[in-house]
Structure 1
Amino acid sequence: MNKLFTLTGLLLFSGSLAMAQNIQNNPGSNHGNKFEQLGTILPTPNEQRTASGAPGVKYWQQRADYNIKCTLDEKNLLLKGSETITYTNNSPDPLTYIWLQLDENEHSTDKNANYQDATKMPSVGTTQSIDKLSETTNNGNGINVLKLTDATGKKLSYTVNKTMMRIDLPAALKTGQKYIFNIDWNYKITDRMTVGGRGGYEFFPADGNYLFTMAQWYPRLCVYSDFQGWQNHQFTGRGEFALTFGDFKVQMTVPADHLVGSTGECINYSAVLNPAQLSRYNTAKTATAPVEIQTLAEAKTAESKKATGTKTWVFQANNVRDFAWTSSRKFIWDAMPQKIAANNNTVMCMSFYGKEAYNLYSKFSTRAVAHTIKTYSDFTIPYPYPVAQSIEAANGMEYPMICFNYGRTDADGTYSESTKNGMLGVIIHEVGHNFFPMIVNSDERQWTWMDEGLNSFVEYLTEELWDNTFPSKKGPAYTIVDYMKLPKDELEPIMTNSENITRFGPNAYSKPATGLNILRETIMGRELFDYAFKEYSRRWAFKHPQPADLFRTMEDASGEDLDWFWRGWFFGTEPCDIALDTVKFAKADFPTTIPEARARMVKVDKPAVNAFQDISKIRNREDKKVSFYVDKTPAAQDFYYKYDRGLVSVDTATAVKTQGSMPLEVVADAEQKKYENKFFYELDFSNKGGLVMPIIVEFTYKDGSKEIDRIPAQIWRHNELKTSKFYVKDKEVESILIDPLRETADIDTSNNTWGGKAKESKFKVFKAKAASSVRGQSVGMNPMQKAAGK
């Protein structure tokens, strides 16, 4: 459990902040800007990428094939593996080194990308947050490279730079040549519910079991491309992945009673499934509704009666850019097929989920998977893979043929409509990522919107065709208005690197999706837009598109000049003098009483339908060729299907009194000693010159010793004018100097110092109890409970 502190800080030192000049393009003119062609803003067409937006006659891309064996050590929470990688150089360039991604280093204290955000001294925080700030030694996380050799067993030279690894080749790898190498590694699996991240484990204390989501888990090749060479941007936890296509054969050795879901097809079900499971799986191949391969009762038995020994599952995946998997004894597993008529492909749609999600996932998940791949296939390209899966794991993240989603019921099995719709939205979104960027393989590490924005747009189309009352949040034009009304200093163009976006959701997801929907419904019309969008998907399937390839293809295939739109919607929305403006100081305090929880009045949710009927909903209802999945599928109709249509009467006006929570407890006397002698400081800085630079802080302590902290320039990326840093120190600070060796060309050093006595204030510390809910669960009473008289 967390122990909680509260804090009242004291302002010690103040300065002034000059406003930066607002620079505009051609501000004196009322013409010659908005409708000019993009011209040199876009890269020059060449033989790799044409002016039409299509791949050129000399387009090329690299290939990486993997053979991996790994072992999941549940007892020690350790994953170890060995892989053989065959890398093919299809480029015209001889390569003297290759780059790999070590994304698991994100969780290491000394091998992460070190992109820091501004930090404030909080009024409420936890002892865990203090411990994290105070952590200076290696926490042991991240990839450990145990052995690296070529195909003959000869050691290879390599360098690890944060989340990247460079392998130096003994001889240049020429065009058309292959290079085979072997790498052995291991890493500690992290608790993603507390540490965060996409991969790791979730522990369920009620039954003592784990649910593992193994993502970004193996060293993997970076993209080497015609437009940028090696894509070796560090992984900070936000911008996702640029990856190389290839074939995978992966063997996972896991506890014998675990079920494994994975990218690709399992090629040894006969060896790892019992006869009943295998029979049900074969039945599911021709079923018209989801068939439970592992039932709820069987999953509960597996939870309580843990088996001994291990099993090895073997999966094969061809022409994919990545590979992820999940493993747990908690899983219920169901499946049904979905036929994709355009390429005569029968896809096994499957879901894995714990008992905590049963009443939601058993009814909706696999059906939503099937609906999604069919709808996306209609709007883009036919789904080419044999499998599509949804895993309930209290998060949302996507990989080829498998994705991790959220959505759990309340303890009594009921759920709110917001939980249901959130679950459906995230399943559609994450399954949809199979198309963007798993097939149309854009680089989210650089252009988040090409992944998230395009996918959010087709997600919207898919939600609309799931249920005409579905309350879509991304797509309708009116839903982006509040974001567009924000002051300009809170906005960035869509064409912004993913690491530097402040309002990530609206910028990378909603605004691109809305823009595409405006093109479809208002500017181009559905027929022209749908043809051009399908052409872009067809041209760049299993390739590496860039923004210009989309912009040019949409114009080329539609006959519409859209440069004005790209310029306004996607590109549109400003020396070094860093000042130390204020310093706040505090000491820890340990209250002996807990603040009382507040009572609040909670109303039962009204039907979750959009208040305004947008043009897409109206046209879909009027179009006789359009049908809605839930209307023609009674098995997908639940309580809320009737509730949204006024067929169920629920009192939504009368509020119910509920007790607010304050999950705190007093810190024990023995534990207070750890924090009572800590000194807490918040330093506030201003960028008076406008040029962003690193901040170099020299602390001089009262005992005469000194310490320097070097803050990367990225700390300014969410606010280029002001930033802050919160410190936990073991000694009291006498003075502070910015840029002591004048390394940053600071033009005014008079505002770089602080010194003087600080009046002490108190920093209240408590212990916080464990969270009672996880992402995707409802809060308060839901209408299903109210209707049942609970």
Structure 2
Amino acid sequence: MNIRINKLIALCLVGCALVFNASAQQASTGAAPATNYNSSEAFGPLFYTQNGNEFRSANGAPGAKYWQNRVDYNITASLDETKNMVSGTVTITYKNNSPDKLPYLWLQLDQNTFKENSRGAQITPSRSRYGAQGEKFDGGYKINNVSVSQKTAAVKFTSIIEDTRMQIRLDQPMAANGDIVTVKMDYSYIVPKEGSDRTGHLTTQNGEIFAIAQWFPRMCVYDDVLGWNTLPYWGGGEFYCEYGDITYAITAPATHIVMGSGELLNPQEVFTAEQLKRWNAAKLSDATVHIRSAEEVTDPKSRPAKDKLTWKFKIINARDAAWASSKAFVLDAARINFPSGRKGLAVSAQPIESNGADGYGRGVEYVKSSIEHYSTKWFEYPYPMAVNVATNIGGMEYPGIVFCGWKAKKGAAWGVIDHEFGHSWFPMIVGSNERKYGWMDEGFNTFINGISAQNFNNGEYKPRVTDMNRVGKGAIGNLALDNIMLMPDGMQERNIGINLYSKPGWGLNILRDQILGEDRFDYAFRQYIKNWAFKHPTPFDFFRSMENGAGEDLAWFWRSWFLNNWKMDQGIASVAAVKKDDKLTGYNITVVNLEKMPMPIILQVKTKSGKTDMIKIPVDVWMKNSTWTVSYPTTDEVVSVTLDPNKVLPDSNPDNNTWTASAN
């Protein structure tokens, strides 16, 4: 999900070539400056408290007996635009692949957070973006005709609803290792105007835009980590869903265009003859094709002359589905080219107010570029369509479809589309638990967005380089900013931008650019994505995957950046000339580690003759030391020494990073 982040802390990729063959030795003389650094704490043993097992391997990949349950949905629903109501019937086919008997099932009823007395409504501040923005309406699900069956035979059960969860208590437990039950129910709810900035409806000059998400009862995840994952939906945290196939049919006024997750199965039934011709032409075109132009939006002939139409969709091996419906849509599309040779369709739907070349008139171009880039760089996008919808939601992602703020222009429009479609990889493909670990989707996505932005259109919207020293002074180790590992709903809302987006993104940049290098990082990261595609990794699965793929013990980094809220501060303690027979042979440059976070040493040395050397010493020197002396051989007088000259590390006190001969 996209949120506004202070420009000071916006993610940018940073690069710095650091090459120098230098010798180094431990400082052996002089009193060490006062320091908060503790090498045994930073590099302590026993980082992993559990060994790998047959379900989750020590190398960070799913184990030989890894399992996860499966859920398929078949939904028929209708939109009543006069009542702002969605009503439908959902048939849930649930397969228990676990080794456990299941005497009860848990479902998510996310719309219930919009009930007047829900837990979310009671704890969410009135000015928070995670409620219904003070709207008064009859929110939440109305559920009827619940039934449970096995092989067409009815199953006895009882059920309860507690806030945003529903428990179905089975008279006889589901058997382990493959048992299947079918749950069916009718439901309806009123669509909130601004539902936690994730679902809602927007009034435009040509009609309402409905962005419909969290729109049907969904199964909770049952996994080998916690069993049933039943955290309430309070509004701040996002989602954790099982994978399966979702087949759905949406009946809406015929004046509307409906776009949704997956493949549109019946375009010939819902488009005019001319629109169908253009739709098929777009599948063969790398340039944007206008399926319904801005000029046609107010033309009644641009929609079939019927009362209602049913749009049919299917998405395979997905964790969720969403859709949007409006009579105000301009509709554009173009072909997506995948590395495997497969083709897809990039789609953008927006009101005419958002349609200019400075806005979502370039939406298809942005969608196509993002999907093609991420597919080539990391893992191929699995779905047949990628749909952007401009509406009153700042930015929200679902498999195959995203909702983006309708007023975004230029770089902001590119940025929100690229960010939301980056989520196709985290968490839509790599299915982490967003409800608990928001950084595993937002932070990873923020990181890959930086690379994508540099790639798009020769850097048209290339981000500015972040001054990590400045970040280190304000955002890293700041006790007021909570901790990355807190679940989103447990964080101060004002800290979410740092903790879920920026800090994990910065951390991955440092890991890639300053610690592992691009080749090793990218290889390990791709392996992580490949291993956990359509599965459920934990933070420690990610840590293990990166260590094994890159061949590096990174426990010190995970401790510093993710598990703790530590500061970094390296300083130049001294620069001393070394002479032999009264002739200059070099300098001993002593660096001290003053705070808890270790990082590599990056030194820039300038000499009187104009020579500049960059020296990089690996983080290993801090395994048993709080000071380190770098031996710099030269017969040329050194005039200045600077730590981290390009400001790529989060040094909280850059004032002690520079030594000059004139000042000493």
| TM-score, normalisation: structure 2 | 0.74
Aligned position for 2:426: 436
Aligned position for 1:249: 247
The 5 A counterparts of 1:32-43 are: 32-37=40-45, 39-40=47-48, 42-43=49-50
- Could you say if the C-alpha distance between residues 390 and 64 of structure 1 is closer, same or farther in structure 2, counting changes exceeding 3 Å? same
Post-superposition offset of 1:530: 0.6
**Partner secondary structure for residue 59 of structure 1:** coil
Aligned position for 1:501: 491
Amino acid at match of 1:72: L
**Partner secondary structure for residue 249 of structure 2:** strand
Aligned position for 1:425: 415
Aligned position for 1:95: 102
1:556 and 2:548 equivalent? yes
Check conservation: 2:248, 2:313, Cα contact below 8 A.
yes
Post-superposition offset of 1:506: 0.8
Post-superposition offset of 1:111: 3.4
Check conservation: 1:474, 1:513, Cα contact below 8 A.
no
Post-superposition offset of 1:522: 1.0
Question: After superposition, what is the alpha-carbon deviation per residue over 1:539-583, rounded to whole angstroms, capped at 9, x for unaligned?
Answer: 000100000111111110111111111110111129xxxxxxxxx
Aligned position for 1:181: 183
Post-superposition offset of 1:78: 1.3
Check conservation: 1:284, 1:337, Cα contact below 8 A.
yes
Q: Superposition RMSD on alpha carbons, in Å?
A: 2.6
1:569 and 2:577 equivalent? no
Question: After superposition, what is the alpha-carbon deviation per residue over 1:308-338, rounded to whole angstroms, capped at 9, x for unaligned?
Answer: 6110011111100001000001001111112
1:105 and 2:102 equivalent? no
The alignment of Structure 1 onto Structure 2 pairs a total of residues equal to 520
Aligned equivalents of 1:108, 1:149: Cα separation in 2: 24
Post-superposition offset of 1:499: 1.1
**Partner secondary structure for residue 300 of structure 1:** coil
Aligned position for 1:201: 201
Amino acid at match of 2:115: S
Check conservation: 2:201, 2:392, Cα contact below 8 A.
no
Aligned equivalents of 2:77, 2:270: Cα separation in 1: 16
- Could you say if the C-alpha distance between residues 253 and 521 of structure 1 is closer, same or farther in structure 2, counting changes exceeding 3 Å? same
Aligned equivalents of 1:300, 1:144: Cα separation in 2: 35
Question: After superposition, what is the alpha-carbon deviation per residue over 1:564-608, rounded to whole angstroms, capped at 9, x for unaligned?
Answer: 11110111129xxxxxxxxxxxxxxxxxxxxxxxxxxxxxxxxxx
The 5 A counterparts of 1:282-293 are: 282-293=280-291
Post-superposition offset of 1:196: 4.4
Aligned equivalents of 1:534, 1:367: Cα separation in 2: 25
* Matching residue within 71, 75, 78 for 1:64: 71
Aligned position for 1:468: 459
Aligned equivalents of 1:113, 1:346: Cα separation in 2: 42
Q: Unmatched 5+ residue regions in structure 2?
A: 1-34, 567-664
Check conservation: 1:156, 1:168, Cα contact below 8 A.
yes
Aligned position for 1:455: 445
- Could you say if the C-alpha distance between residues 178 and 475 of structure 1 is closer, same or farther in structure 2, counting changes exceeding 3 Å? farther
- Could you say if the C-alpha distance between residues 304 and 527 of structure 1 is closer, same or farther in structure 2, counting changes exceeding 3 Å? closer
Aligned position for 1:352: 349
The 5 A counterparts of 1:468-617 are: 468=459, 470=461, 472=463, 477=468, 480-481=471-472, 483-484=474-475, 487-488=478-479, 490-502=480-492, 503-573=495-565
Post-superposition offset of 1:288: 2.0
* Matching residue within 139, 143, 146 for 2:141: 143
- Could you say if the C-alpha distance between residues 333 and 38 of structure 1 is closer, same or farther in structure 2, counting changes exceeding 3 Å? farther
- Could you say if the C-alpha distance between residues 339 and 424 of structure 1 is closer, same or farther in structure 2, counting changes exceeding 3 Å? same
- Could you say if the C-alpha distance between residues 377 and 37 of structure 1 is closer, same or farther in structure 2, counting changes exceeding 3 Å? farther
Post-superposition offset of 1:226: 0.4
Aligned equivalents of 2:300, 2:168: Cα separation in 1: 44
**Partner secondary structure for residue 253 of structure 1:** strand
- Could you say if the C-alpha distance between residues 394 and 303 of structure 1 is closer, same or farther in structure 2, counting changes exceeding 3 Å? farther
Aligned equivalents of 2:46, 2:560: Cα separation in 1: 11
Post-superposition offset of 1:363: 4.0
Question: After superposition, what is the alpha-carbon deviation per residue over 1:360-402, rounded to whole angstroms, capped at 9, x for unaligned?
Answer: 3454211111111122123321112111111111321000000
Aligned position for 1:317: 315
Aligned position for 1:227: 225
Check conservation: 2:476, 2:565, Cα contact below 8 A.
no
- Could you say if the C-alpha distance between residues 37 and 187 of structure 1 is closer, same or farther in structure 2, counting changes exceeding 3 Å? same
Aligned position for 1:24: none
- Could you say if the C-alpha distance between residues 469 and 285 of structure 1 is closer, same or farther in structure 2, counting changes exceeding 3 Å? closer
- Could you say if the C-alpha distance between residues 29 and 530 of structure 1 is closer, same or farther in structure 2, counting changes exceeding 3 Å? closer
Aligned equivalents of 1:345, 1:38: Cα separation in 2: 46
Q: Unmatched 5+ residue regions in structure 1?
A: 1-26, 121-127, 410-418, 575-790
Aligned position for 1:582: none
Query: Sequence identity of aligned pairs in percent?
Result: 37
Question: After superposition, what is the alpha-carbon deviation per residue over 1:127-170, rounded to whole angstroms, capped at 9, x for unaligned?
Answer: x99x88xx8xxx52100111101235667421111111111122
**Partner secondary structure for residue 534 of structure 1:** helix
| TM-score, normalisation: structure 1 | 0.63
Amino acid at match of 1:182: K
